[in-house]
Structure 1
Amino acid sequence: MTKNLTCFVVCLFVSWMVAAQKRAYEHINDLSYLEQADESGDAYRSERCKLDVYYPKDTLNTSAIVWFHGGGLEFGEKHIPYGLREKGVIVVTVNYRLYPKVQHPSYIEDAAAAVAWTFQNIEKYNGNPKKIFVTGHSAGGYLASMVGLDTTYLAKHDIDADDIAGLIPFSGHTITHFTVRKEMGIAGTRPLIDRYAPLYHVRQDAPPILLITGNRELELLGRYEENAYFYRMMKVVGHPDIELMELDGYGHDMVYPAIPLLLDFVVQRSKEPQQ
């Protein structure tokens, strides 16, 4: 189901601002998420495979949001999106290797390693490994979807992708990413669905999913439509918990108005089951 959400987003944001309690937060920078000391001698890998953890110091059992930056898999830096600070959640923001210094699937493997690190370490930062949500914008949304849908990447770290509490790609490819296609000599206007496409991994037992895009007329070429097709195929296979939201009035640069929707999704999927 698609929704025009401008007023709804504003109301959600206001409610979050009112409800937010004043807490002490700590921001730890540039932690390596490599599983062990990197002995490969790859200086670029050691430089890029870092993450930050931003967390409330006085709460326990806290939900964590893993955020992957956008930039077409070619540029970008880890950051905490405006609107995610001081919201009572942990934010794990990740750098990963970029094209042309690496090619696929290196950046997907990096994303999986960062998510695995989060599962293995989040309790040190007052987090709950059962409440880890994976998200990102554009290329970051694509990485979130790939890590959560193709179970092989996390399985290499002995993590079950289905233990992710939710996937929330912001305006992410569901077909094979255009940079992956460029690496294969395929034009950006020629769609492809192979094992590097989230659509290739449609399955009933995937984590809960919230797809958010900008308005279909303002988005990058076909971005809303490919998300709509992914949504439909997930419904066809019987996935029980997926939503598609289209932000009226916004194009590809739709992070800020989508943040309250992300936070609401995290709250709803983090509720303890009733006894």
Structure 2
Amino acid sequence: MKNICFWLLLCCSFSAFAQSNYHTVANLSYYPEDTKQDAYQASQCVLDVYYPVGKKEVATVVWFHGGGITGGKKELPKALQEKGYIVVGVGYRLSPKVQSPAYIEDAAAAVAWVYKNISRFGGSSKKIVVSGHSAGGYLGMMITLDKKYLQVHDVDADSIAALVPFSGQAITHFTIRKENGIAEKQPTVDAMAPLYHVRPNAPPITLITGDRNKELLGRYEENAYLWRMLQLVGHKQVQLFELEGFDHGTMAEPAFPLLLQVLKSLQ
């Protein structure tokens, strides 16, 4: 009964926003115009902005799609639409056409674009949440915890309002390991791992995974270790949620209400 009441209250709390008029602007290039790009980068490094018309100081979620950094495409998750928030769906280059850190640099360039342009759509640069599923969660974790990627664009990663990765990889991503001849099941924690960059002053973090017994290759345990290490270095605003009964692919649907709660807290 408590679970049913929670879902009913959550749905009701967002229903008032459904009456707003929403608009989508598609395929905006997020690299500066003077950036030298090849055809692949120009086609992949674009984003879509979904926003409520006529609103001001709206919270924004920057969403990175999953796909193992080898597949997938930009998306505006239906679960985030008509809730009163801006949703930015980001495309990025994929392996093996490019190798690390190209796609991480793409993620940083996209977030930097949001900082510099979201006010045009009624958003606030003080209310930007970084999120994504699987590989998308990993990209968000990397650009938030390793500050150098956003520093290139004169953006302080600490100004991100919140990081909410869905089942992101906390150790070095398996695709990056493959690029370097490391086996998929050989754990690696180096500079390409979010775990390598734990620090006490990172933005508020909500880690969400599926069931530890159903997740992909220890994904829950990786996030649990990241959660613990962030606490040990003095981070005060990190949470970990395990969605029991859901595997790596199905955990996103029940995770979206947790992301919406974070967005609501910023309004």
TM-score w.r.t. the length of structure 1 is: 0.93
Query: Which of the residues 248, 263, 274 maps onto 2:260?
Result: 263
Which one is further off, 250-259 or 123-132?
Answer: 250-259
CA shift, 1:188, in A, is: 0.8
Structure 2: gaps of 5 or more residues: none
Alignment of 1:179-194 (within 5 A): 179-194=175-190
Q: Which amino acid aligns with 2:183?
A: A
Name the counterpart of 1:26: 23
CA distance in structure 2 between the partners assigned to 1:211 and 1:11 by the alignment: 24
CA distance in structure 1 between the partners assigned to 2:222 and 2:6 by the alignment: 23
- Percent identity reads 54
CA shift, 1:8, in A, is: 7.6
| Contact preservation (8 Å) 1:6, 1:247 | no
- Pair 1:84 & 2:75 matched: no
Name the counterpart of 2:100: 104
Which one is further off, 14-23 or 129-138?
Answer: 14-23
CA distance in structure 2 between the partners assigned to 1:128 and 1:12 by the alignment: 27
Query: Which of the residues 136, 153, 159 maps onto 1:140?
Result: 136
Q: Which amino acid aligns with 1:249?
A: G
Query: Which of the residues 237, 242, 247 maps onto 2:238?
Result: 242
| Contact preservation (8 Å) 1:16, 1:260 | no
CA distance in structure 2 between the partners assigned to 1:197 and 1:26 by the alignment: 36
CA distance in structure 1 between the partners assigned to 2:93 and 2:99 by the alignment: 9
Q: Deviations over 1:215-246 (max 9, x none)?
A: 10011010000000000000001101010001
The verdict on how the C-alpha distance between 1:45 and 1:62 changes in structure 2, with shifts beyond 3 A counting, is same
CA shift, 1:98, in A, is: 0.1
CA shift, 1:7, in A, is: 5.3
| Contact preservation (8 Å) 2:15, 2:83 | no
CA distance in structure 2 between the partners assigned to 1:6 and 1:38 by the alignment: 50
RMSD: 1.5
> 3-state DSSP class of the match of 1:83?
helix
Aligned length: 265
CA distance in structure 1 between the partners assigned to 2:97 and 2:42 by the alignment: 13
Q: Which amino acid aligns with 1:39?
A: K
CA distance in structure 1 between the partners assigned to 2:142 and 2:33 by the alignment: 23
| Contact preservation (8 Å) 1:220, 1:252 | yes
| Contact preservation (8 Å) 1:25, 1:86 | yes
Higher relative CO (CA 8 A, sep ≥ 6), structure 1 or 2?
A: 1
CA shift, 1:39, in A, is: 3.2
Alignment of 1:38-117 (within 5 A): 38-40=35-37, 42-117=38-113
CA shift, 1:74, in A, is: 0.2
> 3-state DSSP class of the match of 1:46?
helix
CA shift, 1:38, in A, is: 3.9
Name the counterpart of 1:157: 153
CA distance in structure 2 between the partners assigned to 1:159 and 1:8 by the alignment: 41
CA shift, 1:43, in A, is: 0.4
CA shift, 1:21, in A, is: 4.1
Query: Which of the residues 93, 112, 120 maps onto 1:124?
Result: 120
| Contact preservation (8 Å) 1:173, 1:227 | yes
The verdict on how the C-alpha distance between 1:220 and 1:198 changes in structure 2, with shifts beyond 3 A counting, is same
> 3-state DSSP class of the match of 1:162?
helix
| Contact preservation (8 Å) 1:64, 1:92 | yes
Name the counterpart of 2:223: 227
Name the counterpart of 1:178: 174
